A and B are shown apart, each in its own frame.
Chain A
Amino acid sequence: METQVMVSDVWKSFDNGRIEVLKGVSLMVPNGEIVALCGTSGCGKSTLLNVISGLEEVDRGDVSVGGYDVVRESTRVDLLRHHIGYVFQFHHLMPDLTLEENCMVPVIAAGGNRAHALERLAELAEATGVAHRLKQRVRELSGGERQRGALVRSLMNDPELLLCDEPTGALDEKNREKVFELLIELVRSRGRTLVMATHDLELARRCDRMIKMRDGRMEGEIH
C-alpha cells in the first residue's frame, strides 16, 4: 500500500527553542488508513497535524504528503489546494457568509470550475445533512451544522488526506457521535486517508489505528 503521510524524526519548538513541542516524532500513514492521534492537551497532536499540512515549519526532520515534500511554499499551497483537507475543533467558518459561500472558498483558491463545484457541494451537503442550510448565514446555524459545514468545506476539492484537529471537541454528545460517524463514512466511502487528533479515547478506538502521544513523543500505538 502506498504511503500517504511520512514524518521522519521531526522536531519543533516555539519561543526560540524554549518550548519543545515535538521531539523526534516519526509517523507513517498508508493510503486509506484512519489514524487517531491521542494524548492530553499540549502533547503535540495539533502541532503534528500543522506540521503535516505545512502550516508549521519544522526545526528538523522531513515531512512528505503523497510523496511531496511539504517544506517548500509552492508545494505547500498546492497540497492545501488539491491534496489536503483540514477540519478544526472550532469550525472557523466566516460568520457573515452563507454556508455555500464558505464552502466555495477552497474552490476559489484552487481556481476550480464553479458549476462542477456546486454539484459536488450539493452532493456533500446532502450526505452531511446540511443541504437545506446552504443559503443560511453561518451565524444562523447550530454548532453541529457548523461543524458539518466545515467538514463539507474541507472535502470540496476532493482531498486525498483529511486532517482533523479535535473535530468533535466543541460539540455535545449527540452531535459528536453524528459528526464522527459522518466523517468516518465519508472518508471510508471515498477511500481517503484520515489523521485525526482527539483526546476522546472512545472515538479513537474506532479508528484503524490509535497512536498515543505524550510530551512531544510517540508513546505507542494500538491497531
Chain B
Amino acid sequence: MIFTNLRRHRVRTVIGAAGIALGVATMLSVVGLLGGAVKMFERILRSDAEMVVFEKNVSDLFFSNVPVTLVEELHAQPFVKEARPVLFAIISSPDRPIITCFGIQASDGRLRKGEWLKGNANLFADGGRGVVLGERAADFVKIQEDGMVELGQERYPVAGIVRMENGFENGGVFMPLATSQESFHKEGVCSVVTVALAAGHESAEVKHWMAEHHPRLTALENEEFSRSYSQFKIMKTTAWVVGGCAFLLGGLSVTNTMILSVFGRIKELAIARVCGFSKGQIARMIFGESLLVSTIGTFAGWALSALGLQLLRALPQLQGYIEPRIGWMEIAGAMGLAALTALGGAMYPAWYASNLKPAQALRFE
C-alpha cells in the first residue's frame, strides 16, 4: 500500500523528497566542507607528530605562547622521539592583507614533503632570513626583481617556492623560526610544540610530565585536540546547526506533503477503515509513506552533496584549502535526522488520518 500510494501521487512524493534532499544535501555539504577544513588544519598541526603542546585556555592557537626552551627539555625525556616548535602568525603583503605564516626550524620535516618548484630545502636555514613561499602564495605575493618579497614591514629574500598538498600551507609563507619570532615580537616563544613519541612510550607519560613541570601548558593527543579545540568545536557545531535548520525546513515540506496526502484521500482512508484497517494500520501507513519519502530524499540529497563537493574540489581556487569529506558518521547522522524529520512531520497527518470517522468521511465532499 505504501509504495502504491507514493507511486500514485508522484508529484507530491517528489516535492516531499526534494525537501528532505535539500536538507540532507545542505547538511552533508556544510558538515563535509567544514569537516574537511578542520582535517586540513589538523594536518598542519600534526605533521609527523602524535601530540601537540600549547598554552592552556587560549581561544586561538595564534595567541598561544610556548617557550622554545621546552623543545630541549622534551628532547631530554626518554618518551620523546622528536619535538618541533611552530609559530603561527598572520602577515600581510601589499596585495594580500592576510597570509598565514609558519615559523619553523629548518630541520622540520614538512617542507621536505613538498615539491620544490624553485630553490631547495638547503636554502632554508635556521640562521638566515630566507623565506619559502607556498605555490599559491607565490602567485599573489609579488616577488621583486632582486628576489626579495615584502611581507609586513620587512623585505625577505625568497629561498624557494614549494608546492604543498595542504592548501593552508600552499597559500602560506614559511619563515625560519628565529626570524618569525623577531618579526612578530615573540622572541623565545612559539605557538605549539609538536611531539613525536619514542617507540614503546605512551602519550600519558608526556601529559604527566607536562602537568608536573609546565602546568601552564597542556599536551593533547591529536584526536583529543580536535575534539577539544574551541575553534573546531564552533565550526562543527555551526555545521550541524545550519544542517539542522535545513532539516527543519525539509520537515515542514514533509508535513505539508503528508497533510496534503491525507486530505486528498479522506474517502480512501475511510474505505480502508471499512475494509478492516485499524487505526494503528492507518497510522503506520502514513508514517511508512513519510519514511519512504524521507529515504528517497536522503539518498537524493547524499548524491547531490557528493556531486556538489566533487565540483568544489575541482575548483582551482579551493584546491588544497578544503578537503570535502563525508564520513559514515555524517551520513548516519543525516539519515537519522531525516528519519526523525519524517516521523515528526507525519505525526499530525497520521493522527488525523487514524482518527477519521469513516461514516462521516464517506459523506465528505
Which residues does A use to contact B, with CB under 8 Å?
A: 50, 53, 55-56, 73, 77, 80-82, 86, 88, 92, 94, 96-97, 101, 105-106, 108-110, 153, 157
A105–B272 CB distance below 8 A: yes
Report how many residues on chain B are interfacial, defined by Cβ distance under 8 Å.
20
Contact with A along B257-282 (1 / 0, CB 8 A): 00000000101100111111111010
A109–B267 CB distance below 8 A: no
* Closest chain B CB from A75 CB (angstroms): 12
User: How far is B275's CA from A153's CA once the two chains are assembled, in angstroms?
Assistant: 9
B275–A105 CB distance below 8 A: yes
B8–A96 CB distance below 8 A: yes
A77–B276 CB distance below 8 A: yes
Which residues does B use to contact A, with CB under 8 Å?
A: 1, 4, 8, 265, 267-268, 271-279, 281, 357-359, 362
B276–A53 CB distance below 8 A: no
* Closest chain A CB from B278 CB (angstroms): 5
Closest 7 CB pairs of A and B: A81-B276, A109-B276, A106-B275, A55-B359, A96-B8, A80-B276, A77-B278
- Which residues from B are CB-within-8-Å of A92? 267, 271, 274, 362
- Which residues from B are CB-within-8-Å of A88? 362
Apart from A80-B274, A94-B8, what are 11 other A-B pairs with CB-CB below 8 Å?
A56-B359, A80-B273, A81-B275, A86-B275, A92-B267, A94-B271, A96-B8, A105-B1, A105-B272, A109-B275, A109-B276
With A94-B268, A97-B4, A101-B4 as contacts: A50 and B359 at CB distance below 8 Å = yes
The dominant DSSP class at the A interface is helix
- Which residues from B are CB-within-8-Å of A97? 4, 8
> Which among B8, B273, B275, B358 has the greatest number of chain A C-beta atoms within 10 A?
B275
* Closest chain A CB from B239 CB (angstroms): 42
User: How far is B279's CA from A14's CA once the two chains are assembled, in angstroms?
Assistant: 23
User: How far is B267's CA from A192's CA once the two chains are assembled, in angstroms?
Assistant: 27
A sample of 10 inter-chain contacts (CB < 8 A) reads A53-B274, A77-B276, A77-B277, A86-B275, A101-B4, A106-B276, A108-B1, A109-B276, A110-B276, A153-B275
User: How far is B271's CA from A153's CA once the two chains are assembled, in angstroms?
Assistant: 11
User: How far is B278's CA from A82's CA once the two chains are assembled, in angstroms?
Assistant: 13
User: How far is B281's CA from A21's CA once the two chains are assembled, in angstroms?
Assistant: 31
A109–B268 CB distance below 8 A: no
User: How far is B3's CA from A97's CA once the two chains are assembled, in angstroms?
Assistant: 12
- Which residues from B are CB-within-8-Å of A157? 276
- Which residues from B are CB-within-8-Å of A86? 274-275
B359–A109 CB distance below 8 A: no
- Which residues from A are CB-within-8-Å of B274? 53, 55, 80, 86, 92
A105–B271 CB distance below 8 A: yes
B275–A80 CB distance below 8 A: yes
User: How far is B299's CA from A220's CA once the two chains are assembled, in angstroms?
Assistant: 65
- Which residues from A are CB-within-8-Å of B267? 92
User: How far is B272's CA from A106's CA once the two chains are assembled, in angstroms?
Assistant: 8
- Which residues from A are CB-within-8-Å of B358? 55
* Closest chain A CB from B285 CB (angstroms): 10
- Which residues from B are CB-within-8-Å of A94? 8, 265, 268, 271
- Which residues from A are CB-within-8-Å of B4? 97, 101
* Closest chain A CB from B98 CB (angstroms): 60
* Closest chain B CB from A206 CB (angstroms): 26
User: How far is B4's CA from A97's CA once the two chains are assembled, in angstroms?
Assistant: 8
- Which residues from A are CB-within-8-Å of B357? 55
- Which residues from A are CB-within-8-Å of B273? 55, 80
- Which residues from A are CB-within-8-Å of B272? 105, 109
* Closest chain B CB from A193 CB (angstroms): 18
- Which residues from A are CB-within-8-Å of B275? 80-81, 86, 105-106, 109, 153
Closest residue of chain A to B272 (Cβ to Cβ) is: A105
* Closest chain B CB from A219 CB (angstroms): 24
- Which residues from A are CB-within-8-Å of B279? 73
User: How far is B275's CA from A40's CA once the two chains are assembled, in angstroms?
Assistant: 27
- Which residues from A are CB-within-8-Å of B359? 50, 55-56
